[in-house]
Structure 1
Amino acid sequence: MNTKPIIDAVIARLQQYLPARRIASCPENILIGPDYLTPGDVLVGYRGSEFSAPEDVDSPVQTQRPQLMVAVLLPELDGEDGVLATLDTIRQALGGYRLSDCHRGIRLVRDRYVGYTGGRWHYAIDCTTETLFIEDREQADGPLLTTVNYEEKDA
């Protein structure tokens, strides 16, 4: 499965649970200029993938474990609209949620305090799911199967 549909599906899921929040894909320049973000942002980002050893069945197949991060940037820590309540809602929205083309639901890995800057609390939830990566390659044409013979051998 490709990465962008996973991020888009997580954003759509969070928008259902947090309709009053601005939920977006993590911007490319977040590390060099997060000041343009509005308080109340929930950002979804891709942190990379882990892959299993290939299972060669004519076209290599690998289990892919995409790692996602959901960042919460809010001015309030406590309260109904604070970071802690928002983190609780995100955990409930994502924990076990099965994305299309993924054969496991989302697993929560950890959440953590990132910092406090510009009047905003920064927290992040790391999560993962599993899907298959199948190598895209041309298959060599071989002879077509036209007859099947069943032979039993005595043991």
Structure 2
Amino acid sequence: MNTLKILHATVARLQEKLPALDCELYPDDPESYRLNHDTGALLVSYSNADFGSNSAIDCVMQEQPVRVVITLVFRELNTATGAIQALDETRRALAGFRPEGCHAPYVLVSEKCLGFASGVWMFALVVQARTMFVQDDPPEPEGIPASLYEEEE
């Protein structure tokens, strides 16, 4: 599983389904971010993962529910091109979409208004897909004598 690939696939999906909006990764320096689009932008970021229990005996293999946040930044709220309409469209674009590397598609987790500041409305939509984390290079089994594997003649 590669988190950046999931984020890039999410941005590509939003660009495909909502071409009238700016869709990009959340900025590295959010304090300096300025909305340059006339209407609004969708900013995609990784939130967190709550790993499941290890399902293997001899290596690390855990389910990884991957949470992604779409931050909506809009100049208007209750218009056909405002934040509320964009929330509806963003939900429809992502619910059921399965990014490459995930074995379960996005489900909706939560959304909330982050407020109004500097002339823009901000909302956060959280979606979650599931993937598996499997350790690199699992170790050879230990503690089992090689003689158990030898065939008798």
Q: Is 1:123 equivalent to 2:120 in the alignment? A: no
Aligned to 2:82: 82
Q: Does the CA contact (< 8 Å) of 2:58 and 2:141 recur in 1?
A: no
Aligned to 2:32: 33
Q: For 2:75 and 2:2, how far apart are their aligned partners in 1? A: 34
Alignment RMSD (CA, Å): 1.9
Aligned residue pair count: 144
Q: Is 1:106 equivalent to 2:106 in the alignment? A: yes
Moved over 6 A (4+): none
Q: For 1:103 and 1:138, how far apart are their aligned partners in 2? A: 21
Q: Is 1:10 equivalent to 2:13 in the alignment? A: no
Structure 1 residues 146 and 13: CA distance shift in structure 2, 3 A:
farther
Query: Structure 1 residue 140: deviation in Å?
Result: 3.0
Q: Does the CA contact (< 8 Å) of 2:104 and 2:129 recur in 1?
A: yes
Aligned to 1:48: 48
Q: For 2:14 and 2:57, how far apart are their aligned partners in 1? A: 37
2:71 aligned partner, one-letter code: A
Q: Deviations over 1:53-78 (max 9, x none)?
A: 11224321000011110011111112
1:5 counterpart SS class: helix
1:97 counterpart SS class: coil
Q: Deviations over 1:4-39 (max 9, x none)?
A: 010011101101111011110001211x333x3324
Q: Which moved more, 1:53-62 or 1:124-133?
A: 53-62
Structure 1 residues 6 and 146: CA distance shift in structure 2, 3 A:
farther
Q: For 1:57 and 1:81, how far apart are their aligned partners in 2? A: 52
Q: For 1:57 and 1:100, how far apart are their aligned partners in 2? A: 27
Q: For 2:112 and 2:119, how far apart are their aligned partners in 1? A: 18
> Could you list the runs of 5+ residues in structure 1 that have no partner in the other structure?
148-155
Q: Which moved more, 1:52-61 or 1:128-137?
A: 52-61
Report sequence identity in percent. 30
Query: Structure 1 residue 48: deviation in Å?
Result: 1.6
Q: Deviations over 1:66-102 (max 9, x none)?
A: 1110011111112221111111000001111122221
Q: For 2:76 and 2:35, how far apart are their aligned partners in 1? A: 15
Query: Structure 1 residue 138: deviation in Å?
Result: 5.0
